[in-house]
């Protein structure tokens, strides 16, 4: 079994895919597809989330999680089944286990705007009043990484010889 384990995680640069240079793009597509077939994941550089955005995001998220449990629980909406807002410790369970997970998290999701017909299928995000920048920093990170994810999906499509 140890012979099948990779000795490194492939690190790819999304700037190659976005460069406009057909050779760099093709190289990225091939390396991405090969990595996903062999190891199943990659490390991705130049995904768009810069150091300043990362620091702001961490600061705002840490500020939220330092709030007292009672304050955080005000943003827990059971009807949304963990799809938006705060989820406290013990709410989720590993498959086949009765003991609740010792994790807490805050779920932010897609915001569908305008008259898009799928808008009603997406619950609104829930924003903590105690951390005024939380919505801005988390949505900026979300949109940035969503854009990177779409480019990775385009690259996979090309690798599979499907339309981009």
Full 3-state SS string of the chain? CHHHCCCCCCEEEHHHHHCCCHHHHHHHHHHHHHHHHHCCCCEEECCCCCHHHHHHHHHHHHHHHCCCHHHHHCCCCHHHCCCCEEECCCCCECCCCCCECCCCEEECCCCCCCCCCCHHHCCCCCCCCCCCCHHHHHHHHHHHHHHHHHHHHHHHHHHCCCCC
Examine the pLDDT at 35 and tell me if it is beyond 80. Answer: yes
Q: Which residue has the higher pLDDT, 18 or 122?
A: 18
Q: Mean pLDDT, to the nearest integer, of 7-22?
A: 95
Q: pLDDT of 65-76, one tens digit each? A: 999 999 999 999
Closest CA to 164 of 64, 41, 29, 43: 29
- Residue 44: beta bridge partners? 12
Mean pLDDT value across residues 140-163: 97
Give the residues across from 16 on adjacent strands: none
Lowest mean pLDDT among 9-13, 58-62, 68-72, 76-80: 76-80
- Phi, psi at 86, each rounded to 5°: -85, 140
Other CB atoms within a 10 A radius of the CB of residue 103 amount to 11
Distance CA 126, CA 77 (A): 9
Q: What is the pLDDT of residue 107?
A: 95
pLDDT for the residue 86: 96
pLDDT band at residue 1 under the 50/70/90 scheme: very low
**Residue 5: what pLDDT?**
66
Structure confidence at residue 101 (pLDDT): 85
For the stretch 99-150, pLDDT in tens is 888 899 999 999 988 888 898 889 999 999 999 999 999 999 999 999 999 9
What are the sequence ranges of the domains in the chain?
11-47+151-160, 51-147
The whole-number pLDDT of residue 51 equals: 96
Closest by alpha carbon to 24, among 15, 32, 11, 35?
15
């Amino acid at each position: 079994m140890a012979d099948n384990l990779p000795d490194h995680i492939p690190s790819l640069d999304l700037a190659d895919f976005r460069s406009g240079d057909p050779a760099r793009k093709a190289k990225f597509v091939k390396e991405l597809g090969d990595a996903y077939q062999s190891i199943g994941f990659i490390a991705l550089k130049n995904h768009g989330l810069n150091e300043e955005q990362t620091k702001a995001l961490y600061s705002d998220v840490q500020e939220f999680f330092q709030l007292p449990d009672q304050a955080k629980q005000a943003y827990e909406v059971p009807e949304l089944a963990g799809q938006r807002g705060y989820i406290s410790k013990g709410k989720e369970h590993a498959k086949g286990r009765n003991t609740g997970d010792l994790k807490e998290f805050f779920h932010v999701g897609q915001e569908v705007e305008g008259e898009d017909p799928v808008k009603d299928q997406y619950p609104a995000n829930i924003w903590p009043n105690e951390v005024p920048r939380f919505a801005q920093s988390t949505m900026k990170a979300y949109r940035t990484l969503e854009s990177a994810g779409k480019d990775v999906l385009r690259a996979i499509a090309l690798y599979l010889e499907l339309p981009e």
